[in-house]
């Protein structure tokens, strides 16, 4: 089972709100997930991010692969180091 850390969309039409979740890569975007790791609200200025950093680091340590968008969020929040 390949695990991905990705966004699951919630909220009304034209009012997005996202959960950051660890999910099986075969699950649908808004479907079943293994664990909720945080939230992302892009409508606030600046965008509001709430993370459980310990659990994010645990899942990455277990081999979970963050999506491109989540990777950007994690770098901005300082959870993962930038590789340059």
Percent of the chain with pLDDT over 70: 96
Range 3-77 classified under CATH 3.30.365.10: no
As a whole number, the mean pLDDT across the chain is 90
SS (H, E, C) the chain: CCEEEEEEEECCCCCCEEEEEEEECCCCCCCCCCEEEEEEECCCCCCEEEECHHHHHHHHHCCCEECHHHHHHHHHHCCCCCCC
Q: pLDDT tens, 5-37?
A: 999 999 999 999 999 999 998 888 878 889 999
Q: pLDDT tens, 3-13?
A: 999 999 999 99
* pTM of the predicted structure, to 2 decimals: 0.87
Across the range 41-69, mean pLDDT stands at 93
């Amino acid at each position: 089972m390949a695990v991905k850390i990705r966004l699951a969309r919630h909220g009304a039409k034209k009012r997005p709100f996202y959960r950051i979740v660890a999910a099986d890569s075969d699950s649908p975007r808004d479907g079943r997930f293994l664990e909720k790791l945080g939230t992302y609200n892009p409508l606030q200025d600046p965008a509001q991010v709430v993370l459980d950093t310990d659990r994010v680091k645990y899942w990455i340590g277990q081999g979970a692969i963050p999506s491109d968008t989540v990777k950007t969020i994690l770098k901005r929040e300082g959870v993962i180091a930038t590789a340059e």
